[in-house]
Structure 1
Amino acid sequence: MPGGWKNMALRIHPPGINPGSKAGTTFRALRHRNYKLWFFGQGVSLIGTWMQSVAQQVLVYRLTGSAVSLGIVNLMTVLPLLPFSFWGGTLADRVSKRKILLITQSLMLIQAVILAALTWTGLVQVWQVYLMAFLLGVLKAVDMPPRQSFVVEMVEGKDDLTSAIGLNSAIHNTARTLGPVIAGIVVATRGEAVAFFLNSLSFLAVIISLLFMRNLPQPTSSKQHLSQVLADAREGIRFVIKQQLLLVLMSLVAVTSFLSRPYQTLLPVFADNMLGGSAQPLVDFFCNGPLRTLTCQQPEALPLGLLYSAIGIGAVAGAVLVASLPPAARRGRLLSVGNLGLPVLLLAFVSSQLFITSLVLMALVGMAQVFQNTLANTLVQINSPDNLRGRVMSQYSLVTQGMHQLGGLQAGIVADWIGAPLSVAIGATLSLLYGIFVFFKFPRVREMA
């Protein structure tokens, strides 16, 4: 792009938004054409992703009735992370990120179609769901490093990176709000297979957005031998090990992912067993009331979908706050609020016996979770050099997704042993203690800009 046109493009702002206003700060990443395409395409696709996630949990719990089975699905997703996320990171630094994402997103579409077909025909068995989860884990492991490091290319530098990552979190959590509600209605009325099929269609939106992008940076190299892949991965690991603040940030995310975030794995248990009674009037109104708004085949999907959507509502609010932060803001302070607030709110949630109270608490949990995850992601990227960012983010992806999925397995095992409330409470307590330790031991974290 000629210099004059590029400068002109960088001065374009979303209609009706003053770039100096708070709204201008929040949405400034949308002045970049490529990011705008990604924003809308990814927004549609993520709704489908959340629909499949909720439908898969309902399917597994319906087939087995076991919290451990929910944890095993997480294990199947995490097994490919270690080998494939490092490979994805080295690819992201040397191969076109758009090309990688086009391939992974297309294969995810095919995976969703296969799962829909198995479920629709009634042939589905739990081992097949495990296998599909494993294949999806392989694709996500390769997909996440280029996806996260692609953002800085779409906004042409770091100036609008906080806005872009905040808006990414906003669309992710808007999808978390809408996807589970749609999934709850679709699964309750039409079954899990329809939700899986709708997810496959949603991938077309992000694939089309990638195809329409222009003027992206060219990769430095596209050919690698295995020895070079391993050498590149080691270089990224050595860089992170030497950066104390990066290690602390990743450790915070790792502890939270392993001990606090597994509450999501156990939400079907909470929705069905702990909160099912207090949610029954709502289910009766929609499924059995005088208006008979829905014809429900699986009414238990409705409370679960609403709990997930409450998380999404709070997370969207948190993501907008993060995206609104000015460039010179002390992001570490809001990060600390998330580190300490998330486990405290989870302790309140496991004590709740009322569905409406639990919905409010889940909204606050979603907000706190975004404060930690989004700001940790932003700070890691800001403090990573361009030539290593893909490999650094592969380690970040391994930490966040790997520990989250392993945490889901341990939470499921512990929940079958001592119950879901106590399982979540123990994890939240340990996570809170580590957050307090970091708060006092590493004050530089909360002062990070």
Structure 2
Amino acid sequence: MKPSQLFRSLRSRNYRLYFTGQSISLIGTWMQRMAVSWLVYRLTHSSLMLGIVGFAGLIPSMLFSPYAGTLSDRHSRYKILLISQIASMIQSGVLAGLVLFKFYNITAIILLAIAQGIINAFDTTSRQSLMIDLIDNKEDLPNAIALNSSMVNLARLLGPAIAGVILSVFGEGICFLIDFLTFIAVIISLLMMRLQLLAPPKTDANIWEGLREGYVYLKQSPNIGAAIMMLGASGLFLMSFSTLTPVFAKEVFGGDAETYSWFASVTGLGALISAIYMAGLKPGKDLLKFIGIAAVVFGISVVLFSRVTSLPLALFFIMLSGAGMMGQIAATNTYVQTNVPGYMRGRMISYYAMAFQGTLPIGSLLTGLVAHHLGAPLTVCLQGTAGIICAGLFIWGIRRRRQAQAQKPTLEYSDIA
């Protein structure tokens, strides 16, 4: 595929601005995520505490995403996104201040994680549902989503690599300060956009009625529901295994912060490769089949990662897990956005966000709790096995529905005859 086709959505000025600003900001975001986990484990040496902090940072997505999705369908998604970015910048600045002034307080870290989780609930739904308004040619939407995933994972590759060096030399506080400064880029890019947005449809129904409408629509769309549920299962059993990567880095492989950064970076590399592949897909690809295959790859690679004792092999399998994870996430996002009407997009994205981020806190908490009793390797092996079972059930369910749909015309013809 020609580069012009691979990057075709960047021809849109607004999307180009968004892509540039987010590329810079997300490097800081991944630095912060890595630094928080390392800080918590350095201070507590507790797998359970890693799970608790992960739970605190992600549970707001499950609680607030449906409300945020309904809000984005009724108000300006652009304004919600701008406000959420400013709020994230403030949260990052407070975290940087606490650590730079040596105020090492786990309770404060947990409260700031909760605050960021609430902000992310509104940020994710507004950002994802705004995507289609940032591109000039609506046929470029799948490419824009895939490039967005590529951007996220390039940041996931670079952020931890930079953080690993900074953590070893300067400590966590500088990582948080850099994250604070990178928000300047995304805020400026948003302010430079020239958007012509349609006014949200006016309605007299209250916001809870909007939530109910979204739930009814989801029930009437079994394939969308199945894709979102599969993503939720991966969030619960598979994605949460990353909660224990500091334990693997330090206890299993006898490493340090740099070793931990390798895990995060190679995960990002695998995810980046997968996202670039998604960006080059031609229209008409069977995304549901792709979701199932990616979920199987994800589960198998997590099991293999948990069983190896060689660091190079572990890095290879965790890279493969990143590819499977991103393939599933990007394909689910594309399938949802290209198969729902505009007036329902925010609410469906909110369910997607709940599946993607909302199940992670429960998974992180359970992961930390089980690892506290069974150890990290066995816990991760059980997680991968559960993920493989869920992927198998998803593939079986899609095939069964398609077979029923294929037989339906024949049955109706027989009845008439």
Given the two structures, how large is their TM-score scaled by the length of structure 2? 0.93
Provide the C-alpha distance between the structure 1 equivalents of 2:130 and 2:185, rounded to a whole number of angstroms.
Answer: 17
Residues 201, 354 of structure 1: alpha-carbon distance in 2 compared, 3 angstrom cutoff: same
Alignment-derived partner of residue 355 in structure 2: 399
The one of 226, 237, 242 equivalent to 1:264 is 242
AA matched with 1:271: A
Which residue is 2:271 aligned to? 315
**2:381 maps to amino acid:** A
Pick aligned residue for 1:97 from 67, 77, 99:
77
Are the structure 2 counterparts of residues 110 and 422 from structure 1 closer, same or farther at C-alpha, using a change threshold of 3 Å? same
2:51 matches 1:71: yes
How far did 1:335 drift? 2.0
Alignment of 1:137-148 (within 5 A): 137-148=117-128
- Post-superposition Cα deviations, 1:88-118, rounded to whole Å, max 9, x if no partner, equal 1122112221111111111110111111111
- 1:248 alignment partner in structure 2: 226
Question: What's the CA shift for 1:22?
Answer: 3.9
**Residue number in structure 1 paired with 2:383:** 427
- Report whether the alignment pairs 1:352 with 2:352: no
1:214 corresponds to: 194
Residues 156 and 96 of structure 1: is their aligned pair in 2 closer, same or farther, counting only changes over 3 Å?
A: farther
The root-mean-square deviation of aligned C-alpha atoms, in Å, is 1.7
Q: Return closer, same or farther for 1:313/1:446 CA change in 2, 3 Å cut-off.
A: farther
Contact 2:60/2:358, CA 8 A, preserved across alignment: no
Structure 2 counterpart of 1:25: 5
Structure 2 partner of 1:123: 103
Change (3 A) 1:246 1:216: same
Counterpart CA distance in 2 for 1:156 and 1:236 is 27
Pairing of 1:225-374 with structure 2 (within 5 A): 228-276=206-254, 279=255, 300-374=256-330
Distance in 1 separating the partners of 2:387 and 2:358: 17
Q: Is the 8 A contact 1:55 1:183 kept in 2?
A: yes
2:36 corresponds to 1:56 = yes
Cα distance per residue 1:114-165 (max 9 Å; x no partner): 1111111111211110000010011011111111111111124641111011
The 3-state SS of whatever aligns with 1:213 is coil
Kept in 2: contact 1:332–1:446 (CA 8 A): no
CA distance in 1, matches of 2:272, 2:182: 20
Paired residues of 1:158 and 1:382 also in contact (CA < 8 A): no
One-letter amino acid of the counterpart of residue 73, structure 1: V
Amino acid at match of 2:147: L
Q: Which residue of 2 aligns with 1:14?
A: none
Q: How does 1:68-217 map to 2 (within 5 A)?
A: 68-156=48-136, 158-217=138-197
CA distance in 1, matches of 2:272, 2:130: 22
Query: Match for 2:95: what amino acid?
Result: L
> What are the superposed Cα offsets for residues 386-438 of structure 1, whole Å, 9 maximum, x if unpaired?
00000110111012101112101100100011011111111111110121122
Q: Specify whether residues 77 and 445 from structure 1 end up closer, same or farther in structure 2 by C-alpha distance, changes over 3 A only.
A: farther
Which structure 2 residues correspond to residues 28-39 of structure 1 after superposition, within 5 A? 28-39=8-19
Aligned in 2, Cα 1:314/1:39: closer, same or farther, shift over 3 Å? same
**1:47-78, Cα deviation, whole Å (9 max, x unpaired):** 00000000000110011110111111122123
From the superposition, tell whether residues 169 and 86 of structure 1 become closer, same or farther in structure 2 (CA, over 3 Å). same
d(CA) in 2 for partners of 1:22 and 1:409?
Answer: 45
Structure 2 contact 241–383 (Cα < 8 Å) conserved = no
C-alpha offsets along residues 206-251 of structure 1, whole Å, 9 cap, x if unaligned? 11111111133133258x88x6111111111111111100111011
SS in 1 for 2:309: coil
Q: Runs of 5+ in structure 2 lacking a partner?
A: 404-417
Q: Output the CA distance in 1 between the equivalents of 2:290 and 2:108.
A: 42
Whole-angstrom distance in 2 between the partners of 1:446 and 1:78: 35
CA distance in 2, matches of 1:102, 1:418: 44
Q: Which runs of 4+ in 1 moved over 4 A?
A: 444-447
1-side partners of 2:276 and 2:183: how far apart? 25
Q: Distance in 1 between matches of 2:165 and 2:20?
A: 24
Aligned to 2:410: none
| SS state at 2:89 partner | helix
Change (3 A) 1:213 1:233: same
Q: Aligned partners of 1:79, 1:111: CA distance in 2, in Å?
A: 17
Give the unaligned 5+ runs of structure 1.
1-20, 280-299
Amino acid at match of 1:257: G
Q: 2:346 aligns with which of 379, 390, 394?
A: 390
TM-score for the superposition, normalised by structure 1:
0.87
Shift of 1:177: 0.2
Aligned length: 403
How far, CA to CA, are the matches of 1:257 and 1:305 in structure 2? 21
* Residue equivalent to 2:409: none
CA distance in 1, matches of 2:138, 2:180: 33
The percentage of counterpart residues that share the same residue type is 35
